[in-house]
Amino acid sequence: MTEVTVHPIAGALGAEIAGVDLSQPLADGVVADVRQALLDHLVIFFRDQPLTPGQFIAFAKRFGTLGRYPFVAGLPEHPEIIEVTKLPHERTNFGGVWHSDTTYLDEPPMGSMLYALDVPAAGGDTLFANMFMAYERLSPGMQKLLAPLRAVNSSAKADVSRTREDRIASSPGKAARETFEATHPVVRTHPESGRKGLYVNFAHTARFEGMTEAESAPLLDFLFRHQVQPEFTCRFRWTKGALAFWDNRSTQHNPVNDYHGHLRRMLRITIAGDRPS
């Protein structure tokens, strides 16, 4: 019998899961325990998991249909997996700003998984932030103001576009030069827990629907600063064979770019989601 144990790593979100060998087929009860841990802690981590790409895919499929990332091609034999790499000579890391994955799509992923192949001896941690907590700590007046608003999300914002350039150059996806745009509620209701959370992010949210970028900027800038306050976050230090699984509907993340001259190589899978409401 497998005994799943959950060890929170911070007050806001995040937990390490022990007692699970992800290289083996998992019983339905174990999958249910892992899913509940994700709902409870928003991002969960497993260490010391020697996985092949096929085993990684098999684990991810227990939680939904696998998605595709439009800008970077997947592995030749496993197109569901993209490689997230920063080479020693590169200065920019992939996705190195606060964001929720691909909110410029009409149906952003429900979650993402990242698996560590090579990590620097120090640095390269990932920060995560709890968007339920960020919303709940706003004043009632601000919550009322945000409730009816919708925001336009774009794949073309400059700060995040620059972080994709190295990987697009080495492994361009079929839609590498396209621009995607989608409009979503500023306050999202989680489809499983029913909790409300902020659903705007620095990387992709360009403006409020019906407003210009200039008109939107003051309130968006406040929200971008507010939602990543230290008390809403956790920090994960990667080790080889570690795997992170985050709920993209209720978190943001930011990979720290503090390991110039060293290799960091990861594999990523996204799990298809629904239209935010």
264 is known as an active-site residue: no
Counting runs of H as helices and runs of E as strands, what totals does the chain give? 6, 15
3 state DSSP class of 20: coil
Catalytic residue among 167, 249, 253, 264: 253
End-to-end alpha carbon distance in the chain: 39
99 is known as an active-site residue: yes
- Give strand ranges (E) for the chain: 5-8, 15-18, 43-46, 82-86, 111-118, 126-130, 150-154, 181-185, 187-189, 196-198, 205-208, 233-236, 243-247, 251-255, 264-271
Residue 9 in tokens? 């790593």
* Dihedral of alpha carbons 24, 27, 28, 34, sign: negative
47 is known as an active-site residue: no
3 state DSSP class of 57: helix
Catalytic residue among 101, 166, 167, 188: 101
Catalytic residue among 99, 164, 188, 207: 99
Answer for the pair 208, 216: CB distance below 8 angstroms, yes or no.
Answer: yes
The DSSP output letter for 51 is -
- C-alpha dist (Å) from residue 100 to 7, 13, 47, 148, 260: 24, 15, 23, 21, 24
Answer for the pair 187, 197: CB distance below 8 angstroms, yes or no.
Answer: yes
Q: Which active-site residues does the annotation give? A: 99, 101, 253, 268
